[in-house]
Amino acid sequence: MCGIVGYVGKENALPRVLDGLNFLEYRGYDSAGVAYFTNGKIKITKEVGRISVLEKKLPKDIYTNMAIGHTRWATHGEASKINSHPHRQGKFTVVHNGIIENYAELKKELKKAKVKFISETDTEVIPALLNYYYQQEPNILKCIQKLKNKVTGSYALGIICDDDQDHLYATRCGSPLIIAKAAKGNFIASDVPAILKYTNKYYLLDEYEIAQISMNKITIYNADLKEITKEELTFAGQAESILLNGYEHYMLKEIHEEDQVFLDTFNYYVTDNKFKKTMPHLKNYRQIHIVACGSAYYVGLIGKFLIERLAQIPVTVEVASEYRYQENFYNKQTLVIIISQSGETADSLAALRKAKEDGIDTLAIVNVIGSSIAREATYTLYIKAGPEIAVATTKAFLAQTTLMALLAIHISNRLDLLKHFNGLEQKIKYLLQQDYRQYAKAIYQEENIFYIGRQMDYALCLEGALKLKETSYINGVAYQAGELKHGTISLIKENTPVIGIATEAKVMAKTISNIKETKARKAQVILITNQDVPDKCYDKLIMIPKVHEIVSPILTVIPLQLIGYEVAKLRGCDIDKPKNLAKSVTVE
């Protein structure tokens, strides 16, 4: 959600910034803009729509050593040129990711000081404030420092000032930002993929730290403007991991990485059917709250069933945006588990902070190394999914589910169950090789599709339905199979598409009865199961290899993801960048 890139160096800044923005496309955006100096003067170009539209508007022959760029996902004010970033007031030009919560109040105050605002955005108060402070004392670092006590909300900022065309400035609070060091220049960016083409060396900026970056020097200050030394990090993966490598879409590429992602995650925590030291000691907790958003929340639901069944510990699963505002009856033996691919989801981060404020231990299950949630939790367990670019999560879901299952085994000390993970990658590969187009063809013209299942199968129904909504804009809706008869079955008529999931032995017979109830009303049923069932209850069948329930969801999700992909393809949707969605939702 909103991407920031900036470059200052010996080489041409604009192509580098545009490259970076292109790699951040996956975060979701609806307009883009850049600012750069040419012959000592600032130039700003902004356009609604894709980065390619912006690129066409930029002069081809520009050579500039410093530029900042931004992709905007509209929050305050529609997607328009005026509301796009960079925003400028006086001598300051700024790109921003996050939300300035007290912007209305600040605008009012600044208007009294004769500042004129041209956009509807919250962001415009930032260059206005900086310019106002600068008029009082022309010290850029001090002006940025003053934001800390004035601005509430979240921000990652890239800042340039007309009076200092050798330095790019950056600071953050709540929203992510990295500073990267390349051979002939330095970058700022919202995320590592933006800079991988040029370097894999970077620093993570912590809350309220300020970076002052020139062609050959990066200086980082703490909130008191004392110079500090930061640990230089190296992105361990290959730069190729963020390229399509011949796949038509990132979503497809990422689904096809799932056998390896499973192995990498499993091997990171387990060796010789024993846990490595990478697993923290968690046996003293008597109650668990799992908090997450979107797909990560559905992983939480799977986790609830597994932990409760194996460890006999009560687990509640909550959507992060609700969790903060409700009564949470925790005690010193409660563990709050936050699941997040990006590690930056604002609602999940806020829930984590609330639990911490209340003195409760937190455990983060995260993909992005060094992300805010990963850094702030008491314990952090990484999934080993690698960079996930497609907005609709797939491989991270599979890796999170793998880790949830391992966590359930660890908490319950049921090490005997680890053997069920051995060789699972072959079964994943088998499912990846199947052709799911026939199922997609049967449903892609529908506007409503029902997913029904019980227990963990229901959590998978939710994920299957979300994949369809996200990538195909079809209203996929999930129901607990047993609940259907209490109202929703009234919607089932001839040819209504129903995807039934029945893999759980415990509830198999009951789920099959519920599926038959829809078939009796002439629904068009695609059944996903792992055992022979009466042939009268489905039109199409997807057989999943039969495995222990602890690993079963890892397999079942694969056809759901691939059906989602194939349906989106048949409908001609922009699969990797669905409308209105963002990969990393950094607003609450």
Which positions touch ligand G6P (CB under 6 A)? Answer: 293-296, 340-342, 345, 348, 391-393, 581, 584-585
| Alpha-carbon 499 to chain mean position | 27
Q: Which residue of this chain has its Cβ atom nearest to ligand G6P in the complex? A: 294
To ligand G6P, the closest distance from the beta carbon of 460 in angstroms equals 14
- The nearer residue to ligand G6P, 295 or 480, going by C-beta atoms, is 295
Catalytic residue numbers, as ranges = 2, 583
Q: What 8-state DSSP symbol labels residue 193?
A: G
DSSP-derived letter for residue 487 is T
- What is the per-residue burial (b if ≥16 Cβ within 10 Å, else e) of 186-208? bbbbbbbbbbbbbbbebbbbbeb
Min dist CB 254 to ligand G6P, Å, is 12
- In angstroms, give the least distance from the CB of 86 to ligand G6P: 26
Residue (525 or 582) nearer to ligand G6P, CB: 582
Nearest CB to ligand G6P, comparing residues 89 and 394: 394
Q: How far apart are CA 502 and CA 463, in angstroms?
A: 15
CA geometry: angle 465, 471, 473, nearest 5 deg: 75
Cβ-based nearer residue to ligand G6P, 347 or 566:
347
- Which letter does DSSP use for residue 280 in this model? P
Q: Which is nearer to ligand G6P, 29 or 92 (CB)?
A: 29
Hey, what are 501's tokens?
């999931």
CA distances from 516 to 14, 189, 475, 487 (A): 60, 53, 22, 16
User: CB 570 → ligand G6P: shortest distance, Å?
Assistant: 21
According to DSSP, the residues that pair with 334 across neighbouring strands are 287
Please tell me the distance from the alpha carbon of residue 429 to that of residue 260, in angstroms, as a whole number: 9
Specify whether the CB–CB gap between 558 and 431 falls below 8 A: yes
- Which residues make Cβ contacts (< 8 Å) with residue 50, sequence separation at least 6? 25, 32
Q: Which two tokens stand for residue 387?
A: 């960079």
In terms of Cα–Cα distance, which of 126, 217, 128 is closest to 167?
217
Q: Which is nearer to ligand G6P, 341 or 472 (CB)?
A: 341
Q: Closest CB to ligand G6P among 340 and 552?
A: 340
CB of 396 to ligand G6P, least distance (A): 7
- Minimum Å gap between C-beta 582 and ligand G6P is 6
Residue 391 CB, nearest distance to ligand G6P (Å)?
6
How crowded is residue 273: how many other Cβ atoms within 10 Å of its Cβ? 12
φ/ψ of residue 430, rounded to 5: -60, -45
| Dist. CA 165–CA 186, nearest whole Å | 14
What are the φ/ψ torsions at residue 368 (nearest 5 degrees)? -80, 115
Lay out the sheet containing 178-182: strands in order across: 41-48, 31-38, 66-72, 3-9, 185-189, 178-182, 201-204, 233-234
Q: How far apart are CA 550 and CA 197, in angstroms?
A: 40
CB of residue 470 to ligand G6P, shortest distance in Å: 6
Nearest residue (CB) to ligand G6P, 526 versus 585: 585
- What's the min distance (Å) between Cβ of 581 and ligand G6P? 5
Q: Which sign does the torsion angle of CA 205, 152, 344, 24 carry?
A: negative
Among residues 68, 71, 73, 43, the alpha carbon closest in space to that of 57 is found at: 43
Three-state DSSP class for residue 462: helix
Cβ–Cβ < 8 Å for 157, 167: no
